[in-house]
Amino acid sequence: METTVIGYPRIGNLRELKFASEKYFRNEISAAELEKTAREIRAYNLELQKKSGLDIIPSNDFSYYDGVLDTAFMLNAVPARYTELGLSELDIYFAAARGYQGTKGDVKALAMKKWFNTNYHYMVPEVDDETEIRLVGKKPTDLFREALEKGIRTKPVIIGAYTFLKLARYKGEKTAADFIDQTAAAYSELLDRFNGLGADWIQFDEPSLVMDMTSDDVKIFESLYEEILSSKGSVRVLLQTYFGDVRDCYKEICKLGFDGIGLDFVEGKKTLELVKENGFPDDKTLFAGVVNGKNIWRNNYASTLLILDELKKHSSQIVLNTSCSLLHVPCSLANETLLSESCRKHFAFAEEKLSEIEELRQILEAEYPLVTEAYRRNSALHSEPRSGRNDSVREKVSSLTEKDFVRLPEFAEREKIQKARFNLPLFPTTTIGSFPQTAEVKAARKALRTGEMSSDDYEKFIKEKIAECVTQQEGIGLDVLVHGEFERNDMVEYFGECLDGYIFTEKAWVQSYGTRCVKPPVIWGDISRARPMTVKWSVYAQSLTNKPMKGMLTGPVTILNWSFPREDISLKESALQIALAIREEVLDLEANGIGIIQVDEAALREKLPLRRSDWREDYLDWAIPAFRYVHSGVKAETQIHTHMCYSEFADIIRDIDNMDADVITFEASRSDLTILDVLKENNFRTEVGPGVYDIHSPRIPSKEEIIAAIRKMKERIPAEKLWINPDCGLKTRGNAETVPSLINLVNAAKEVRNENC
Ligand code: GLN
Ligand code: ZN
């Protein structure tokens, strides 16, 4: 039995790519030096995968920023505003990824969106009526050659034609269907090139197949691949799906001329059923995604063998595979020096998953699989009782009733009471919470960690930063202030550290977008609040100003979604346990005089099931109540804000209103403000702050630009419900761009306010 993986993390074992790229952005190293780091990462990954015994090793899973962006560049789908800048190829690429502001021009980045149900973000390709899709990029073939020179005949990984066309944003009259011929021709040419290079397998990633598909979608898919596969030569084509099952097109894909089909047996609720009911074509290889590419727990070999036993009845050619790219898990447990052995043995990161795949192969090939050493060790691990149980939390969760999820009085009455209490001007200005996490702040946290700074000195330092931040905001003229979140490494990890039931890693970074990585904490046991988490900072910050100071928390759904979740209890149970803890903090803040409390649900939409039919039952039916429970106990005059890091909630707009927050801020600037119409049509009740500028880019928005955005907002949203703020936290930005941006924001708000009065 052969083995493979869908893709390997590309940021480098110790985030080498991130650091090199950031140096490149700051002009500290040359393009050649950045390229050298990239080559070293690829060589390291290839070597590691080879050493682990993997038969089919991926290539082109490397990217300087994002794989979808790479595909757009490969296919000539790059808006002219970037190519016209007259920059080097690499810098045009980074301009599309990050925006560009300099001597050659001033352009915003492409839009960025969550990659299916993960916390990875891809760049949204833009296609207009003039776009001519054709194969122009050489990266896939270059990287194939690079590996070949090292003696490894890799499996190039390419975002598939259908997924590319589905993810692209169409700016003109034309739609995906109008680009079928061009796209198919480009992919056919790519196959030709790989034939010429002697590739054995090529993998087309088509995660869009696990979404709800209409019959037109299926037709587009068929048209594309009938054409692409019609002259494919000797290279074997693998259709790789992941993040779910392909129930809407299973029969159709089985009929097409693929040589292999990759299916996800971890997240695909119906995948096994599909194979059992319809069989699997004899002429194809089944790439069985049985090792979870998204979570960090050790595979349960007993359950995996059951799946494989079943599959063997339907296919004689099976390749062992991960369920999705390992991009979504950290690189290696070897980087963790502080984990206790009792925890560590339950984990498998990317590198360890390679060994799991190899072990599974050996078990399957053994004459008596169940008595192999590897199998026995694994089943002992899975039958061991785990620490971290908390019966009182479990009881509290099970005794919650309907009324625990309802805040009284109702929204409209609270709105009146709060307007009277805070007496804010029209279009109140605020920020989302964090202020720039400068090198100084990071250094202090590091010094605290290593013991070079005492906790008293650290506390003093953070308080100084808070004081500076308050003065800064008062100077800028913002209406509702924040303390700046300097004490936080990360909006989830920080809370995890104050909660019982969590454990942490040191270097377990996962790419979130571009050079940005996150280090999700691990939910190990039942969750409870060990101590107040933010009260001290918020109370101190409030003591420095007469303006309202927002308390700043992360909500239960986001904490859960940005952690590695348990697999032994349900997500709902975990969410409610966390909600219990955050609610205690909310009430604590309120009791300590904090009048406005923001509970960020940045990631609420992230784990929305990909198929609409699963939305309520599998997710919203517990996620929205978990949020409501967090704030249902506060007084009418306490204003609850929430924040979301995206604006695609048109389809769950009612649910979002139903979270019953008083104010919601969200990203809007990158998505052309289209959400505003939806808010209007739905009579959105919650007050809103659709971000007026994009903080993901270092460019400074002009006052005029912000005024234009506010005017647009004002046309759709009642003035008395409109807040003015950036579209997300400022922690990744520098002060150099933050201060002028916020000054422009405040001045823009004032100007529109004056027009209105
Ligand atoms: N309050 C958080 C911050 O400003 C929110 C971050 C986020 O939405 N990702 O950093
Ligand atoms: Zn955000």
- Is the pLDDT at 435 greater than 70? The verdict is yes
- Tell me the CA distances in angstroms from 330 to 8, 295, 566, 603, one per residue in order: 10, 9, 16, 20
Across 246-271, average pLDDT: 98
- Is the pLDDT at 700 greater than 90? The verdict is yes
Residues 585, 630: Cα–Cα separation, whole Å: 9
Across 278-284, average pLDDT: 98
Residues 99, 640: Cα–Cα separation, whole Å: 33
Task: Kindly state the DSSP code that residue 108 receives in the 8-state scheme.
Answer: P
Which pLDDT band, with edges at 50, 70 and 90, does 674 fall under? confident
- 231 or 555, which is more confident: 555
Residues 355, 344: Cα–Cα separation, whole Å: 15
**The pLDDT value given to residue 671:** 62
Which pLDDT band, with edges at 50, 70 and 90, does 606 fall under? confident
Select from 636, 453, 446, 472 the least CA-distant residue to 541: 472
164, 71 Cβ separation under 8 angstroms? yes
Say which residue the tokens 């202030």 belong to: 481
Q: Report residue 282: phi and psi, to 5°.
A: -65, -30
Mutating to test ligand 1, I would choose from 600, 646, 667, 696 the residue with most ligand atoms within 8 A of its C-beta, which is 600
Percent of the chain with pLDDT over 90: 95
Residues 431, 727: Cα–Cα separation, whole Å: 8
Residues 544, 549: Cα–Cα separation, whole Å: 9
- Tell me the CA distances in angstroms from 530 to 533, 582, 594, one per residue in order: 9, 11, 21
Q: CB within 6 Å of ligand 1 — which residues?
A: 432-434, 485, 491, 552, 600, 602, 643, 645, 728-729, 731
Across 704-729, average pLDDT: 95
Smallest-distance ligand from the CA of 667: 2
Helix (H/G/I), strand (E/B), else coil: 201: strand
- Is the pLDDT at 609 greater than 80? The verdict is yes
Bridge partner residues of 430 (DSSP): 480
- Is the pLDDT at 490 greater than 90? The verdict is no
Task: Kindly state the DSSP code that residue 662 receives in the 8-state scheme.
Answer: S
**The pLDDT value given to residue 13:** 96
Q: Report residue 490: phi and psi, to 5°.
A: -160, 145
Bridge partner residues of 639 (DSSP): 596
Atom of ligand 1 nearest to the CA of 645: 8
Residue closest via CA to ligand 1's atom 8 equals 602
**Residue 1: exposure state from Cβ atoms within 10 A (0-12, 13-18, ≥19):** middle
Select from 132, 212, 194 the least CA-distant residue to 615: 212
Across 92-118, average pLDDT: 94
Active site (annotated) includes residue 696 = yes
| CA 669 to ligand 2 center in whole angstroms | 12
Which pLDDT band, with edges at 50, 70 and 90, does 669 fall under? low
- Is the pLDDT at 273 greater than 80? The verdict is yes
- Is the pLDDT at 723 greater than 90? The verdict is yes
Task: Kindly state the DSSP code that residue 366 receives in the 8-state scheme.
Answer: S
Residues 321, 317: Cα–Cα separation, whole Å: 13
Task: Kindly state the DSSP code that residue 11 receives in the 8-state scheme.
Answer: S
Across 137-151, average pLDDT: 98
Across 84-109, average pLDDT: 96
> Which helix or strand (DSSP H or E) is residue 457 part of?
helix 455-476
Which pLDDT band, with edges at 50, 70 and 90, does 670 fall under? low
| CA 129 to ligand 2 center in whole angstroms | 32
Helix (H/G/I), strand (E/B), else coil: 595: coil
279, 311 Cβ separation under 8 angstroms? no
318, 285 Cβ separation under 8 angstroms? yes
Q: Which domains does the chain carry?
A: 2-277 (3.20.20.210), 412-756 (3.20.20.210)
Say which residue the tokens 């995906």 belong to: 176
- Is the pLDDT at 572 greater than 80? The verdict is yes
Residues 69, 71: Cα–Cα separation, whole Å: 5
Mutating to test ligand 1, I would choose from 485, 643, 731 the residue with most ligand atoms within 8 A of its C-beta, which is 643
Residues 37, 55: Cα–Cα separation, whole Å: 26
This prediction has a pTM of 0.91
Q: Helices in 592-702 by DSSP H: which ranges? A: 615, 621-631, 653-657, 675-681
Q: Helices in 549-652 by DSSP H: which ranges? A: 556-561, 571-591, 615, 621-631
When the pLDDT of each residue in the chain is averaged and rounded to a whole number, the result is 96
